[in-house]
Structure 1
Amino acid sequence: MRYWKYMKIIFLVLLSAIIVTLTVQKVPYDQFKYLMNNSLVEHLLHEEPCACGKHCLAASDDNWFSERFRDHVHPLLSLNNSVLSDNIFNWWKTLQSTKSKANYSQVIQKLFSVIPGEDRYRDVGPSRCRTCAVVGNSGNLVGSFYGPLIDNHDFVMRMNKAPVEGYEKDVGNKTTHRFFYPESAIHLDNNTHLVVLPFKLLDIQWITSALSDGSVKRTRFKVIDKLQTNKDMVMIMHPAFIYYVRTTWLHLRRSYPSTGFLVLMFALHICDEVSVFGFGANTKGAWHHYFEEMPKKFRRTGKHPGGLEHQIILELQKRNLIDLYAGW
């Protein structure tokens, strides 16, 4: 399926040769018309939305999904889309524990003097089949042996400080994207994309500082002031995207989406096939991280609507829009 574009070119060349041959042989018009209406010809000439066939998210005609999915809402901040509406900007300010005196436009201008400001992942089309694994931190990964399956995806997305070393058989060892906010930051290698979740303006100021002068040393509490990562692979999730997930998918009034749910929504927007690992409770109904001991008490989801998010994930699976792997 990845070679669909080239197959189509070859077919068109062959089709042209057939037409010339039929013309030279003076095939009757009725027979010629029948050949041109052949379902195989129509299928091969049809422009597919992606090269993944039936599993292509862009090809979904599911009404429930269509009512929620907004492909025009791009998940990443860029120079071209950095202006925020008053509605979104005012909502975004409510997430901030302290009022910032910084000028948003100046903060953005400084940000894109440090990291690239171009649009990314706008390459959806008939020649692309991008498979993505969204790897959460649930204890249901323990003993799953999902590692090789996870690593077989084009993109492998992980979040916060979730370790890989020592857990490879269950979680894999490939990471193409790591999502975190300042307080959950870790150093990365030069081959991993960093996606910052900006829940406040200071988060954007922090990543700018962490990749330059290291002047921001504290947000809600002490953070890494000099981050080791490839600055050319750093991206910022768009505040408008967070707002869209909150209002269109979750219909929330006060709380905001969890990191895991935002990463899943990110994947739905830039991938053609999405597989989800490490979300939800383990088989015993306990909620814990795969790299921690199982707690004696139920772990709540804090300010995040964990129950509602889980229902939506199950609905996505039910409608064959994602593949959900929940352990054994």
Structure 2
Amino acid sequence: MRLSVQKLVCVIILLSAIICTITLNKDPYYEDLKKIVNITFTEGFLRKEPCGCLEGCLAATEDEWFKNRFRDDIPPLLSLGNSELPDNITNWWQHLQGTKTKTEYKQAIEELFKVIPKEGHYRDAGPDRCRTCAVVGNSGNLLESHYGPLIDNNDFVIRMNKGPVEGFEDDVGSKTTHRIMYPESAVHLDNTTHLVLLPFKLLDIEWVTSALTTGRIKKTRFKVIDKLQANKDKVMVMHPTFMHYVHTTWLHIKARRSYPSTGFLALMFGLHICDEVNVFGFGADSRGTWYHYFEGLPKRFRGTGKHSGGLETTAIKELTKRNIITVYKGW
């Protein structure tokens, strides 16, 4: 068990007080001293701290801008017990994918949790946990960064879509604990990596159930992996309510048919399951060029499609400025 700085101070105070009793037990202030020591010692050890990190943690920040946006009551991941969707979430989600009924959703959820774990995940924040996370994007600014060891030093390493590791270990690390993806961006995983599905449509939930069992779904928007190599016990699905919360609370977007990028959802996921978040591989390179580190030639992106890239960049800059996250930009 880790002791926080505050608790170590309490121990020192207690030991000092014991020494003092030898010489001060006849002092008129002795009784007052005992009361102060007892109160300090008790408060220091009984106070429930938000995490065990010595350098502070996300849940402990007093930043009003962050506290007005951060909702720890919204689960990042689906479980059988929290899967029912409010009407406003259902309506938003349906606009992303076309019309679907609640009955179809309910059936898809029942089938899903016959295959993957039905329990909740990562709702264990507390004074005994200090979870550090690296959220690793696919930006070309990772090349020649030599961030690999720094990335691997985190407890969780969250990657997204098809970003490869092999051949790029010096710059992007070799460790992957979670890979966030959707059917059209899916890759096969080893037995130790968590698959975190982004369900932009009901068919995505149906796909992951199929891809882990019968392989009957071979096409979503286009041809996809029908039989996925992944550990069923390590598969998770991001909650549509969480995606809506990121969309409306963090990005303040009212347009129904737009949605956050995979990278921004991955970052928000990290904020909600980690005590310390380090961000790598986001944004353009030092020349202002946008491309993926695994592409042969830099390719400028003309836009962000249905994503609000400008709003996401502004939010990330604000989180960095307020020391909520640490962003590594490469060289």
TM-score (norm 2): 0.90
8 A contact 2:290–2:300 mirrored in 1: no
**Distance in 2 separating the partners of 1:84 and 1:202:** 16
Show structure 2 runs of 5+ residues with no match. Answer: none
Aligned pairs for 1:87-166 (under 5 A) are 87-97=88-98, 103-166=104-167
**Distance in 1 separating the partners of 2:136 and 2:250:** 20
8 A contact 2:197–2:238 mirrored in 1: yes
2:218 counterpart SS class: coil
Deviates more, 1:106-115 or 1:91-100: 91-100
Determine the structure 2 residue equivalent to 1:49. Answer: 50
Determine the structure 1 residue equivalent to 2:200. Answer: 199
Report the Cα offset of residue 326 of structure 1. 0.5
Report the Cα offset of residue 228 of structure 1. 0.5
Report the Cα offset of residue 102 of structure 1. 6.4
8 A contact 1:100–1:202 mirrored in 2: no
Determine the structure 1 residue equivalent to 2:281. Answer: 278
8 A contact 1:141–1:170 mirrored in 2: yes
Report the Cα offset of residue 280 of structure 1. 0.5
Q: 1:31 to 1:300 in 2, by over 3 A?
A: same
**Distance in 2 separating the partners of 1:214 and 1:311:** 41
Report the Cα offset of residue 8 of structure 1. 5.8
Counterpart of 1:321 (choices 298, 318, 324) is 324
Determine the structure 2 residue equivalent to 1:169. Answer: 170
**Distance in 1 separating the partners of 2:204 and 2:213:** 14
2:68 counterpart SS class: helix
Show structure 1 runs of 5+ residues with no match. Answer: none
How many residues align structurally? 327
8 A contact 1:286–1:294 mirrored in 2: no
Aligned pairs for 1:12-23 (under 5 A) are none
**Distance in 2 separating the partners of 1:31 and 1:256:** 64
8 A contact 2:276–2:325 mirrored in 1: yes
Q: 1:146 to 1:36 in 2, by over 3 A?
A: farther
Determine the structure 1 residue equivalent to 2:32. Answer: 33
Counterpart of 1:288 (choices 264, 267, 291) is 291
**Distance in 1 separating the partners of 2:302 and 2:185:** 19
Report the Cα offset of residue 296 of structure 1. 5.4
CA RMSD of superposed structures (Å): 2.9
Report the Cα offset of residue 22 of structure 1. 5.5
**Distance in 1 separating the partners of 2:313 and 2:125:** 28
Determine the structure 2 residue equivalent to 1:210. Answer: 211
Determine the structure 2 residue equivalent to 1:4. Answer: 3
1:65 counterpart SS class: helix
1:53 counterpart SS class: coil
After TM superposition, the runs of 4+ consecutive aligned structure 1 residues lying more than 3 A away are 25-30, 38-44, 97-102, 293-299
Determine the structure 2 residue equivalent to 1:73. Answer: 74
